[in-house]
Amino acid sequence: MKLLSKWAALSLCFCCACVAADGTSRPDDQAPIGVMIGVMIGAMGDHNHEKGKWMISYRYMLMQMQGNRNGSDRMKTSEVLMSGTGNYQVSPTEMDMAMHTVGLMYAPTENLTLMAMIPYIDNSMDHETAMGGMFSTQSSELGDISLTALSSLGGELLWQLGLSIPTGDLDQEDLTPMGNAVLPYPMQIGSGTFNLIAGLGHGVKRDHDSYGFQVRGIMPLGENDENYSVGNKFTATGWYARKLNHNVSVSIRGLYEFRDNYDGNDPRYAMAQAVNLVPTLDPNLRGGSRLDIALGANWLLSSGHRLSLEYHLPAWQDLDGPQLETDSVLTFGWQLAI
């Protein structure tokens, strides 16, 4: 919560520094900042850029997870641990995932925009043991870089096609009560596979407001070197934005996300799986669905810099558990078209 407060305060300071924007641009020219970033690595724009134009961007996303869930039901930690009514020696209790993403976009033609997204991911997870002990693990590294193309093909629908490259690490380790160990699936940084990114989107701009939608899928192409692949991920989102004045707009957005369980099994976890060490080692406990409601704001400065904030809360979750549920997602971003 301290991180959320810090970024919210920083964003308000930026808002106060804004001045009236050039009439040729609008604060809602861009979709809500969360539309272009996800829990897995990939990007989907909501518009094409003008020929010869560049855009550089930075996004900070913080996802906070606390407490376990099975299906749509919340679970107490005692329902996960074998010291209570559960089956595991260790239960995760809380996880924070922070992702810093640098983006670069270029439009070689009016109907084609090329994009590159470079993420850096920082994870931390807290645990409780059946003996009553507590411990935490951390992991951080460059994530999977994505390269994508966006085009309207002269029509209203915008399609996206791209590939994420397995630059993220799959060998993250940390000290646990059992010694130094390879960290479980959610604490690994990369997917280890090339992943196909495909999507469709559409945006409409009116005098005082705008709205749009987007659907997208991220699908692994084969298995990684550890004999598994992360699950397919599909998202659908729609938003409405309203201009408050020349340089500020606010938005509301709905987001549905579906994630498959992992395919295959990392052999490095075999011994720990045999003794039911912790549910985060089970590839069949990684899937689920979630529906979020998000509120956002865009601030456009006269210099062309754009500052954005979006905060969303899950309205419903259905997880293959025991699995940590998502409590909140905060995204802060900066963009500049040149």
Q: Could you read off the pLDDT of 133-181 as tens digits, one per residue?
A: 999 999 999 999 999 999 886 667 889 999 999 999 999 999 999 899 9
DSSP E strands in 183-304: the ranges are 195-205, 209-220, 228-229, 233-243, 248-259, 263-264, 288-300
Q: Is pTM beyond 0.85 here?
A: yes
Q: Rounded mean pLDDT of 203-218?
A: 92
Indicate the number of domains in the chain. Answer: 1
Residue 24: Cβ within 10 Å count: 6
Confidence at residue 48, expressed as pLDDT on a 0 to 100 scale: 57
**pLDDT tens for each residue of 226-283:** 999 999 999 999 999 999 999 999 999 999 999 999 999 999 999 999 999 999 999 9
Domain range for residue 219?
2-337
Residues 162, 168: Cα–Cα separation, whole Å:
17
- Tell whether the model's pLDDT for residue 65 goes beyond 80: yes
Q: What is the DSSP string of 33-59?
A: GGGG--SSS----SSPPPTT-EEEEEE
Give the largest Cα separation in the chain, rounded: 64
When mean pLDDT is compared over 35-39, 50-54, 317-321, the highest value belongs to: 317-321
Q: Rounded mean pLDDT of 288-314?
A: 95
In the chain, the percentage of residues whose pLDDT exceeds 70 is 88
Confidence at residue 49, expressed as pLDDT on a 0 to 100 scale: 58
Residue 96, beta-bridge partner list: 64, 124
How distant, in Å, are the alpha carbons of 88, 192, 259, 276, 284 from that of 273?
10, 21, 22, 5, 12
CA 140 distance to own-chain centroid: 15
The two structure tokens encoding residue 168: 């993220």
CATH number of the domain at 293, please. 2.40.128.130
